[in-house]
């Protein structure tokens, strides 16, 4: 096993990971719930960027429904961002012979 070669590969992978993380941070993931009444946008870092709420779902007598819709939208947008990130990182670490769960 050539340690110098492994170190070079690790440095290359680290550089590629940094580039990929920067690209993912620029991507936006939109989740729409409640038949499009609530839309949430998150970036690839899993940060919520915006929330749009259709005034038709704003009912002072049913605040819980609106809360549930917002929460569902936020969870879905963040989950979509995480899933994309995992898939992209999995592509990067494929073929490295890492044990399961050791990918980035």
| Distance from the first to the final alpha carbon of the chain | 23
Is residue 94's pLDDT more than 80? no
Give me the DSSP letters along 15-77. HHHHHHHHHHHH-EEEEEETTTTEEEEEETTS-EEEEEE-GGG--TT-HHHHHHHHHHHHHHH
Q: What is the largest CA-CA distance in the chain?
A: 69
- The domains of the chain, with CATH numbers, are 26-93 (3.30.1310.10)
Q: What is the pLDDT of residue 73?
A: 96
Confidence of residue 13 (pLDDT cuts 50, 70, 90): confident
Q: What is the pLDDT of residue 19?
A: 87
Partners of residue 21 on adjacent β-strands: none
Which of 44, 43, 24, 40 shows the shortest CA–CA distance to 32? 40
22-77 pLDDT per residue, tens: 888 899 999 999 999 999 999 988 899 999 999 999 999 999 999 999 999 999 99
């Amino acid at each position: 096993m050539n340690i110098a070669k492994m170190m070079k590969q690790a440095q290359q992978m680290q550089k590629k990971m940094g580039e990929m993380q920067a690209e993912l941070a620029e991507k936006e993931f939109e989740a729409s719930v409640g038949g499009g009444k609530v839309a949430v946008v998150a970036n690839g870092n899993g940060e919520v960027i915006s929330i749009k709420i259709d005034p038709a779902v704003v009912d002072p007598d049913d605040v819980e429904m609106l809360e549930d819709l917002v929460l569902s939208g936020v969870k879905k947008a963040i989950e979509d961002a995480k899933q994309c990130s995992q898939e992209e990182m999995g592509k990067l670490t494929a073929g490295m012979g890492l044990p399961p769960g050791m990918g980035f």
